[in-house]
């Protein structure tokens, strides 16, 4: 094994000096206040080792990264029946996603675009009160991170709820097409709360382990999902994990990953590591500028691309 601690330290050092840090998301008032001069990285290995550098202990809003976890829960709940309500194909551009929703009768193209994640949340709501579902998701996050301190930032959730007209439009479209079982406000309420979960890089790297290690929290850890399911969610992350920048992320980094507008990215090195990187500034397609760059460096230096070693 390479000197991972050395690599992550070198990456954090290099990122600290980067002049072009992207732009912090402005559309959620609570997120717009975040200091862009932050960068954290954490790498969890199968043997339980955790390497970290930079602001790896600072909590940030995981936002869309939560979608890989709610997807895991929903698949656990309804199994492959989920795929009757959500597709598994990349979505093309954001503009297209609405056109597509209309053309495909309310079946979102994949579970990681907002429309798809809203349907996944709707699946989790079935038979429960919103509050219960939010509690269930939070307990799951604490379990897989092995950290009971993880919480939801209510200010962020409220902030998104007040300004989320576009998501409200999507949810209403899906409802009009009979692919939402609950009132749009209810489903969106749960959705905004799981997006508002705050985690540190260390916690997130821990949480992502089951994708890397055949469905387990470490080689001998408890089973969270089957190994086949872990592989398949990894495949979805690779093809659909970064919105309109998914192809480019695969091309540049070569790892399955899921980004969030809070600046975090969870990346998976199958059979090897779960990696969480965070820096608040975003690039043109809404993914963290420095986190993407850091993952490209890490993948190169460690020879971790799933598309071939250097």
- Can residue 129 be called a binding residue for a second copy (CB under 8 A)? no
- Can residue 160 be called a binding residue for a second copy (CB under 8 A)? no
- Can residue 91 be called a binding residue for a second copy (CB under 8 A)? yes
Instruction: Give me the torsion for CA of 176, 136, 152, 144, rounded to 10°.
Output: -120
Q: Which is nearer to a second copy, 17 or 310 (CB)?
A: 310
Copy the structure tokens of residue 34.
Answer: 């975040």
Return d(Cα 81, Cα 241) in angstroms, integer. 21
- In the list 96, 135, 181, 286, the residue contacting a second copy (rule: CB under 8 A) is 96
For every residue of 56-92, DSSP letters joined together read TTS-EE-GGGHHHHHHHHHHHHHGGGGGGTS--S---
> Is position 2 annotated as part of the catalytic site?
no
Q: Which is nearer to a second copy, 123 or 253 (CB)?
A: 253
Q: Total binding residues for a second copy by CB under 8 A? A: 57
Residue 307, number of CB atoms within 10 A of its CB: 11
Return d(Cα 137, Cα 254) in angstroms, integer. 29
> Is position 67 annotated as part of the catalytic site?
yes
Closest CA to 101 of 28, 180, 163: 180
**Closest approach of Cβ 279 to a second copy, in Å?**
23
- Can residue 182 be called a binding residue for a second copy (CB under 8 A)? no
**Cβ neighbours of residue 128 closer than 8 Å, sequence gap 6 or more:** 136
- Can residue 81 be called a binding residue for a second copy (CB under 8 A)? no
**Closest approach of Cβ 4 to a second copy, in Å?**
19
Residue tagged active-site, from 68, 145, 243, 269: 243
Angle at 277 between CA 243 and CA 154, to 5 degrees: 75
> Is position 191 annotated as part of the catalytic site?
yes
Q: Which residues bind a second copy (CB under 8 A)?
A: 87-93, 95-96, 98-100, 102-103, 109-110, 165-166, 168-173, 175-176, 184, 212, 214, 227-228, 230-232, 234-236, 238-240, 244-248, 250-251, 254, 256, 270-271, 305-310
Which residues are known to be catalytic? 64, 67, 191, 243, 261
């Amino acid at each position: 094994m390479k000197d991972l601690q050395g690599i992550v330290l070198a990456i954090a050092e290099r990122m600290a000096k980067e002049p072009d840090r992207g732009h912090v998301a402005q559309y959620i008032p609570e997120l717009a206040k975040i200091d862009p001069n932050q960068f954290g990285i954490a790498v969890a290995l199968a043997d339980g080792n955790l390497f970290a550098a930079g602001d790896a202990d600072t909590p940030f809003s995981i936002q869309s990264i939560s979608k890989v976890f709610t997807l895991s829960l929903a698949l656990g709940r309804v199994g492959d029946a989920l795929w009757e309500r959500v597709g598994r194909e990349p979505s093309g551009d954001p503009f297209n996603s609405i056109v597509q929703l209309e053309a495909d009768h309310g079946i979102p193209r994949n579970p990681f675009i907002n429309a798809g994640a809203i349907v996944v949340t709707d699946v989790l709501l079935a038979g429960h009160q919103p509050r219960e579902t939010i509690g269930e998701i939070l307990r799951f996050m604490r379990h897989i991170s092995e950290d009971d301190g993880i919480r939801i930032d209510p200010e962020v959730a409220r902030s998104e709820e007040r300004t989320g007209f576009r998501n409200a439009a999507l949810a209403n479209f899906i409802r009009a097409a009979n692919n939402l079982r609950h009132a749009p406000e209810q489903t969106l309420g749960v959705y905004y709360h799981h997006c508002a979960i705050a985690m540190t890089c260390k916690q997130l790297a821990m949480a992502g382990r089951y994708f890397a290690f055949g469905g387990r929290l470490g080689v001998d850890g408890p089973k969270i999902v089957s190994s086949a399911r872990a592989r398949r969610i990894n495949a979805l992350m690779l093809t659909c994990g970064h919105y309109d920048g998914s192809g480019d992320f695969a091309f540049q980094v070569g790892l399955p990953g899921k980004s969030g507008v809070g600046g975090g990215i969870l990346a998976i090195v199958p059979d090897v590591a779960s990696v969480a990187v965070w820096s608040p500034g975003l690039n043109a397609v809404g993914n963290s500028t420095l986190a993407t760059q850091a993952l490209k460096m890490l993948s190169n230096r460690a020879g971790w691309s799933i598309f071939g070693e250097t």
